[in-house]
């Protein structure tokens, strides 16, 4: 059973930075990639970035690459999301997710997922 646990959220002032962590367990080789999403109240779920577990190649949605950086630690089976210049519009629950048999190589990867974590709250406010 795949399990994903996020951490690292909190209250941040505008302009600040955060690094979120997603610790995974129970993976088999069919789970090629892990990705980050966010969801704010009243807004649709939004894909941010995904990373392939084997080679570390990445895909970012839209203009997310400007302020978001995804990375991984193979030994810890952990994926990170570093966010810079946080703004109030970034306030949301951030969660990681995965799906089997699908390499992270296009926007299609963000269309669905099989497992997700509970998420970590990021609040940007002065």
Query: pLDDT digit string (tens) for 97-109?
Result: 999 999 999 888 9
| Local confidence band at 27 (pLDDT 50, 70, 90 cut-offs) | confident
Structure letter (DSSP) for residue 26:
S
Percent helix, strand, coil in the chain, to 5, is 10, 50, 45
| Run of H or E including 102 | none
**Stretch 14-42: mean pLDDT, rounded?**
94
3-state SS assignment for residue 117: coil
89 Cβ contact partners less than 8 Å away, ≥ 6 residues apart: 124
CB neighbourhood size of 50 (10 A): 31
Q: What is the pLDDT of residues 64-95, one digit of tens each?
A: 889 999 999 999 999 999 999 999 999 999 99
């Amino acid at each position: 059973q795949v399990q994903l646990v996020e951490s690292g959220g909190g209250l941040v002032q505008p302009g600040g930075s955060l690094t979120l962590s997603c610790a995974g367990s129970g993976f088999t080789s069919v789970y090629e990639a892990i990705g980050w999403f966010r969801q704010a109240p009243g807004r649709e779920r939004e894909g941010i970035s995904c990373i392939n577990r084997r080679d570390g190649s990445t895909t970012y949605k839209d203009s997310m690459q400007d302020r978001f950086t995804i990375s991984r630690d193979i030994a810890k089976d952990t994926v990170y999301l570093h966010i810079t210049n946080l703004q109030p519009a970034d306030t949301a629950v951030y969660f990681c997710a995965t799906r089997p048999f699908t390499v992270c190589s296009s926007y299609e990867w963000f269309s669905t997922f099989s497992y997700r974590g509970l998420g970590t709250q990021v609040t940007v406010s002065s």
